[in-house]
Structure 1
Amino acid sequence: MNELHGTGVALVTPFTPDSEVDYAAWRRLLDHCIAGGVEYLVINGTTGESPTVHAEEKAELLRVAREHVAGRVPLVYGLGGNDTAATEALLRSADLAGITAILSASPAYNKPSQAGLVAHYQRLADAAPTPLLLYNVPGRTASNLTADTTLRLAAHPNIIGIKEASGHLEQCLSILARRPAGFLVLSGDDLLTTALVAHGAEGVISVIANALPGFFSDLTRQALAGNFAAARRALFELLPLNPLLYEESNPVGIKAALQVLGVCGSAVRLPLLEASESLKARIRAALAGTSVPAA
């Protein structure tokens, strides 16, 4: 799975002001990220507002992406849920032609045990027609895939890696220290990318790369090449901007940044609200005050 080394982008889903999917902006975003040099694109993840994008919209977003990207970079598709049987049925019925891997977040709200998480993911991996990436994001799911559970799941032949967004560095290091050969560890936190790559991680699935694909993919490549001084300098440039992207929840902040850059609008769907004018002004100032290029 060398295709998934480097920087993947957890793409936003652009909306019009009246809350329709903006497919023209979707195509601009795809081109913006590819022109910036990212290694792959992630469609229908958390940053794509997957809970409020309807099934027919998800299918159309995937169709348009496949057609527009036309093989220029690999595509990863987000598909998960807190009903194992329903998610399994989706995996078996969805048109996943041309998809390199499925990214599946742990069930939200149910709060399964570690044994329940193992059973859930094993069932999905058995059903998935493409390789499966685990996605551990306790801040959204209220459950944590421990290192031991991740490593147990890593033994499944169709589970190829994990997007680790727990923020627990020791847990990430434990996975990196004991993982089987070929099992990918991808940072789910932009600011931890260089730290995890320094200990063997293969890259990142990034939020900030929606807006700054060239800058962030170069940062990640510098880290992967062992040029940590350069990667560190670049990462430190992002410190004023990064917390603003999450201040009013993700993807509210990154959509405001994309609006400043003219890629897409800042509209989100309820229960999220569009970025406040105060936040938009601070994001605009943070972007203007950096040497970071837009692509």
Structure 2
Amino acid sequence: MRRFLLTVGYCGTSLRGVQKQLDEGVNGKACSVHGLLEKALVHLRPANPPELYISSRTDAGVHALCNTLHVDLERLPSQPPYEPEYITIGVNRYFQKTKADIRVHRTVHVPPTFHARFNATGRTYLYRLAVIRPEADLSQCQSLSFDALIPIGELHRCYLVKSPFDVEKVKEACEILQGSHDFATFAGKTGSGVDTKRTINQITVTEGRPLLDPAFEPLYSNLQFWDITVNSRSFLYRQVRKTVGVLVALGQERISFDDLHRMLSIPSRDSWPSKAITAPPAGLYLVNVHYPLEAFCFPYPDFSAVDSWEEDKKL
């Protein structure tokens, strides 16, 4: 039996998140990332039932440029062991046939001690904001709906935000949030006894860009894109989306820095300001899961996993 690390990307719009659901496929219900990957691996006909361990859970509607998982696969005695390339090609062929919005980018043979979740040293997320410019033509918008301003290429790929939006305040708030804090105010539902202290290694806001060339879509002239990037070893449930919601509320002057300091100094769900909302999942992307190179070292001279992971990081 061999253990493999798979790096996968997916568009989360039509998926039910990462975690496997008990009613998947019943009455046409959408599937999870876990469920789809499991079905694809079963399609390779391993001798053992594949048991997946995914590094990072993402909610329904959240996308991933790179999520990771490990799985042990064994072939029948009459067949040679699985090779990484065979798994990548076979799983993606299954996704093509089933029209699933998920792809395996790389498969690597890793040591039997490797764990996709516990060996991870960090995770990086990106949140894309599309801010409506103050000078935007709003004549095509009805009532308070601004859906007419969303370029079709950005549908379910960003968070449309109204002006005013003070990006300098957002940058100042990022500096406050960076470091170690009790983020209980920024967490979704958590079980009793869960440690809500986390360390944000880095959180930045930088000018973003559209997914398509604006020359092909005049609606882009109404929008200014901003990218919020955040890195930490781990995050609380919905912590990133709630953090972005607070940053947007600050940028729009719906809440103050006093509100932000209260959220950090009195960590509690009761400290959540009523004028801040959790950012929607559509703008959130899991960019990368980080590992130390020693996690890929076999107890015997086999450096193929290390070499493959180094090449993967260059892509």
Query: Same-fold call, TM > 0.5?
Result: no
Task: Report the TM-score, using the length of structure 1 for normalisation.
Answer: 0.27
Q: Which has the higher contact order (CA 8 A, sep 6+)?
A: 2
Name the larger-Rg structure.
Answer: 2
